Chains A and B, each alone.
Chain A
Amino acid sequence: MQHKDINEDIRWAQINKDVLRSMENPRKAYWISVGICLALLSLAVIAEIYQYNVGLGPTNLNWPHMWGLYIATFIFWIGMSHSGTLLSAILHIIHADWRKPIYRFAEAMTTFTLMTAGLFPIIHLGRVWNMYWVLPYYSDRGIWPNFRSPLVWDAFAISTYLTSSALFLFIGMIPDLAICRDNTRGWKKKLYTVLSLGWRGDDRQWRNFRKTYLIMACFLIPLAVSVHSIVSSDFAMSIMPGWHVTTFPPYFVAGALYSGCAGIITLFILLRYFFRFEQYMTLPILEKTCKLTFAIAMVWTYLNLIEYSSVWYGHDTVAKELLIDKFTGPYSPYFWAMNILGSVLPFTLAFEKLRRHIPTMFAVSILLNVGMWLERWMIVSPTLAMSYEPFTHTVMWASWVQWFIVIGSFGWFGLLFLVFVKIFPSVSMYEVKEMIFHRRHLANKDIAAVMHRRSSDPQPSEGH
């Protein structure tokens, strides 16, 4: 059984070769996946064109249910984005070096899930063509957006987060892009030449690079936490039962990290297979990710129970009736499914045997995300179905238009992601080298002494 996170004897040139090869000849499954994503995306395009022309009527959204799957899926995707930051920024700061082979695609996931999530508030608008009105741009009539509205905060938060995480992804890639530049030809070489910003790997560049990367990481962490807190304000700032919940910001952040980690497991397994990354995306790393997911799942479960009990023991009868209805009403199958998938299923991650069984983990990770998607839906819809005015209590089931767009968003995300991992190195070459170096030379010695040194200083003895 493999116990080491990575084969410490691997040659650096081999790393370069393996990663660069991944960008040339993936398995056939890669292309099948691209095809599936394209098909899913085209469903969404069809639905969106229809919806754009006719209006929001065919979605089955209705008079109490002004929001539906779009907003639920929006939160889901925003949530997915958080784990990229967790892996790349938080684990970077706390020096958890096992993240190194997998943080790149996680960070890419962050960027692309944000790009997917950001579409949903736009798609759900009644008048999409006026979407830019939520941005504060100079208008000679003195018209500004309403800064009190959480939706405007969303616009700021998401655009900031997207910019920052994209920048973070890009900065972290610069040394690898230089490797690509040096090993490719044709249009790719031109692309990498431009993107690598003249990286030569000299000492000053490395020092500045390290500083910048660290600063970005520090900047990104509070940003990530705030983004999902702000998204939770869409609900927490409202007056509706089941929405105006004080614990929503941490609850949302926990849920976000949870679904993000599950998403990382899924993509981990896919990439390992597509690009034959068994050497880098190893089972011990998968195990560590699973443990992390399990911990976060427990935090989420705890916050979930807090929410139930604070409603149960509170005096807000309407919210309490809503909670009872969630457990027993028309949405209860989904509500129970969410609780089982979100709080019970993660216990599979506690068993080493299961953790090391890749097909199981693949299924579990997807099911966990199904649970987390249900969670978002169970936040949005039951409240709309059963709020203060009894006369408006109705249940809404989404139509094919909503489903197509929701499903298509997975195609859109998948396509962006797959194109990215094909064009850019999805395993950070220079950081894997660092990892191997440190492990090989320092693992058995006194870590404290190592930490005293600048751990990021490259070793001149082995170049790349």
Chain B
Amino acid sequence: MSLQNILQDWSKYRKGNEEGGFHDYEHLWGLAIDLNKCIGCNACSVACYAENNLAVVGKDKFAKHQEMHWLRVERYWDEPDLGEQAVSDYQSHGASFLPMMCQQCMAATCEPVCPVAATYHTPDGLNAQVYNRCIGSRYCSNNCPYRLRYFNFYSYYEDSWPAPLNMQLNPDLTVRDKGVMEKCTFCVQRIRAAKDVAKHEHRELQDGEFTTACAQTCPTQAIVFGDLLSLHTAGKAESTLSTLWRDQQVELGRTEQHKQNPDKRGYRVLEGLNTDPKVMYLERVREV
């Protein structure tokens, strides 16, 4: 870090502020999850285990809440919007499922608190976690309102993958060792591979060229993955995801959406905290 660099960074930052928008970003990977379609079957979560070398911790450690599911399907028995109806002798409205993976916030609360900058915002709009840099202060997880960051409380490689289970490990990413924080990366290894292929073929990355493991396997196609850059930047090819966000009148950079059509179902979890998540949920629909 030289003075020149600082000045350069500063002028770049100032310029970015003047121009506004997201011109600095190459992509803004995001998700849309339709709770009207999600059935809570857990396929996404297991697909994530398979793709991302997630450790199986076993019953004892699970009992201590030391599990490692990057994508967890939360299940609630009540819904605030149902009001009084929820109070009855039976669970007559079923359950409420909510798949939660890292929300890849644009104003991520995990990023500023890391003492060693092991988590930072990439030009793809992702909250990257640099395992090698992480010293395990765990502040990021404490400061994540969604609690979507998981810590390696042990070295799992011997217990979780007794041979030959270890042969299944995805060589495109690491097996994390003890003392390191980890979380959903939006399958960054798939992003990387697709980018490399596109670069090799001298073309732009196409929408739908690849997707994350969870979106790919979802039996109801409730999860849509894509690039949100065209939502806020002119001249970019519109992606399916951008169309979806636009249609739901959900915008980045807001703590409260001002929808022209209040019937639209798009919302972001804990949006009011101004974390600016890039995962949009579509409200569950209820017959009354």
Seen from chain A, the residues whose Cβ lies within 8 Å of a Cβ on chain B are: 54-57, 60-67, 121, 124-128, 130-131, 133-134, 142-146, 148-152, 155, 234, 237-240, 384, 387-392, 394, 396
16 further interface pairs, Cβ-Cβ under 8 Å (given A66-B141, A126-B138, A133-B115): A54-B178, A56-B136, A57-B153, A62-B64, A63-B150, A64-B147, A125-B135, A127-B179, A127-B180, A133-B116, A134-B115, A146-B114, A240-B143, A240-B145, A389-B146, A392-B147
Residues of B with C-beta under 8 A to A127 = 134-136, 178-180
Q: Please count how many residues in chain B sit with their CB below 8 Å of the partner chain's CB atoms.
A: 46
Smallest CB gap from B155: residue in A: A55
Q: Nearest-CB distance from A109 to chain B (Å)? A: 27
Contacts A125-B135, A126-B135, A145-B116 given; indicate if A238 touches B66 (C-beta within 8 A): no
User: A146–B109 Cα gap in the complex (Å)?
Assistant: 14
Contact with A along B100-125 (1 / 0, CB 8 A): 10000000010011111100000000
Q: Nearest-CB distance from A123 to chain B (Å)? A: 11
Instruction: Determine whether the beta carbon of A67 is less than 8 Å from that of B138.
Output: yes
User: A389–B144 Cα gap in the complex (Å)?
Assistant: 10
Q: Nearest-CB distance from A125 to chain B (Å)? A: 5
Q: Nearest-CB distance from A463 to chain B (Å)? A: 53
Smallest CB gap from B181: residue in A: A126
Residues of A with C-beta under 8 A to B136 = 56, 125-127
- Give the one of A127, A240, A390 with max B CB within 10 A: A127
User: A239–B145 Cα gap in the complex (Å)?
Assistant: 7
Q: Nearest-CB distance from A323 to chain B (Å)? A: 18
B residues 152-206 touching A (CB-CB < 8 Å): 152-155, 178-181
Instruction: Determine whether the beta carbon of A148 is less than 8 Å from that of B109.
Output: no
User: A410–B104 Cα gap in the complex (Å)?
Assistant: 42
Q: Nearest-CB distance from B50 to chain A (Å)? A: 21
Instruction: Determine whether the beta carbon of A151 is less than 8 Å from that of B139.
Output: yes
The 9 closest A-B pairs by CB, nearest first: A126-B136, A126-B179, A55-B178, A57-B153, A66-B138, A146-B117, A151-B115, A62-B65, A127-B179
Instruction: Determine whether the beta carbon of A131 is less than 8 Å from that of B178.
Output: no
User: A431–B116 Cα gap in the complex (Å)?
Assistant: 45
Contacts A142-B1, A238-B142 given; indicate if A125 touches B76 (C-beta within 8 A): no
Smallest CB gap from B64: residue in A: A62
User: A126–B176 Cα gap in the complex (Å)?
Assistant: 12
B residues 215-267 touching A (CB-CB < 8 Å): none
Residues of A with C-beta under 8 A to B49 = none
Instruction: Determine whether the beta carbon of A149 is less than 8 Å from that of B135.
Output: no
Seen from chain B, the residues whose Cβ lies within 8 Å of a Cβ on chain A are: 1, 5, 61, 64-67, 72, 74-76, 98, 100, 109, 112-117, 133-139, 141-143, 145-147, 150-155, 178-181, 270, 273, 275
Residues of B with C-beta under 8 A to A388 = 145-146, 270, 273
Instruction: Determine whether the beta carbon of A134 is less than 8 Å from that of B145.
Output: no
Residues of B with C-beta under 8 A to A234 = 139
User: A128–B137 Cα gap in the complex (Å)?
Assistant: 9
Contacts A62-B65, A146-B114 given; indicate if A240 touches B142 (C-beta within 8 A): yes
Residues of B with C-beta under 8 A to A155 = 115
Contacts A67-B142, A127-B180 given; indicate if A61 touches B74 (C-beta within 8 A): no
Smallest CB gap from B112: residue in A: A148
Contacts A55-B153, A57-B66 given; indicate if A121 touches B137 (C-beta within 8 A): yes
- Give the one of A63, A127, A151 with max B CB within 10 A: A63
Residues of A with C-beta under 8 A to B147 = 63-64, 387, 389, 392
Q: Nearest-CB distance from A137 to chain B (Å)? A: 12
Instruction: Determine whether the beta carbon of B65 is less than 8 Å from that of A394.
Output: yes
Instruction: Determine whether the beta carbon of A133 is less than 8 Å from that of B133.
Output: yes
Instruction: Determine whether the beta carbon of A391 is less than 8 Å from that of B74.
Output: yes
Instruction: Determine whether the beta carbon of A63 is less than 8 Å from that of B178.
Output: no
Smallest CB gap from B113: residue in A: A149
Instruction: Determine whether the beta carbon of A126 is less than 8 Å from that of B151.
Output: yes
User: A384–B143 Cα gap in the complex (Å)?
Assistant: 9
Smallest CB gap from A388: residue in B: B145
Which residue of the partner chain, among B117, B151, B155, B273, contacts A145 with CB atoms under 8 Å? Answer: B117
Q: Nearest-CB distance from B231 to chain A (Å)? A: 25
User: A128–B75 Cα gap in the complex (Å)?
Assistant: 36
Residues of B with C-beta under 8 A to A63 = 65-67, 141, 147, 150-151
Residues of A with C-beta under 8 A to B150 = 63
User: A128–B179 Cα gap in the complex (Å)?
Assistant: 8
Contacts A238-B113, A238-B143 given; indicate if A125 touches B64 (C-beta within 8 A): no
A-B contact pairs, 15 of them (CB 8 A): A55-B155, A56-B179, A57-B178, A61-B138, A62-B64, A62-B66, A66-B138, A121-B137, A142-B1, A145-B117, A149-B139, A239-B109, A387-B147, A390-B76, A394-B65
Q: Nearest-CB distance from A302 to chain B (Å)? A: 28
Q: Nearest-CB distance from B203 to chain A (Å)? A: 32
Instruction: Determine whether the beta carbon of B65 is less than 8 Å from that of A126.
Output: no
Residues of B with C-beta under 8 A to A390 = 76
User: A62–B142 Cα gap in the complex (Å)?
Assistant: 11
Which residue of the partner chain, among A130, A131, A144, A149, contacts B114 with CB atoms under 8 Å? Answer: A149
Residues of A with C-beta under 8 A to B74 = 389, 391
Residues of B with C-beta under 8 A to A128 = 179
Which residue of the partner chain, among B137, B179, B273, contacts A151 with CB atoms under 8 Å? Answer: B137
Residues of B with C-beta under 8 A to A394 = 65
User: A124–B142 Cα gap in the complex (Å)?
Assistant: 14
Smallest CB gap from A234: residue in B: B139
User: A240–B270 Cα gap in the complex (Å)?
Assistant: 12
Smallest CB gap from A235: residue in B: B142
Smallest CB gap from A153: residue in B: B115
Q: Nearest-CB distance from B269 to chain A (Å)? A: 8
Residues of A with C-beta under 8 A to B66 = 57, 62-63
Instruction: Determine whether the beta carbon of A55 is less than 8 Å from that of B113.
Output: no
Smallest CB gap from B143: residue in A: A238
User: A276–B136 Cα gap in the complex (Å)?
Assistant: 47
User: A126–B142 Cα gap in the complex (Å)?
Assistant: 14
Residues of B with C-beta under 8 A to A66 = 138-139, 141-142, 151
Q: Nearest-CB distance from B282 to chain A (Å)? A: 19
User: A246–B146 Cα gap in the complex (Å)?
Assistant: 23
Instruction: Determine whether the beta carbon of B135 is less than 8 Å from that of A134.
Output: yes
Residues of A with C-beta under 8 A to B153 = 55-57, 61-62
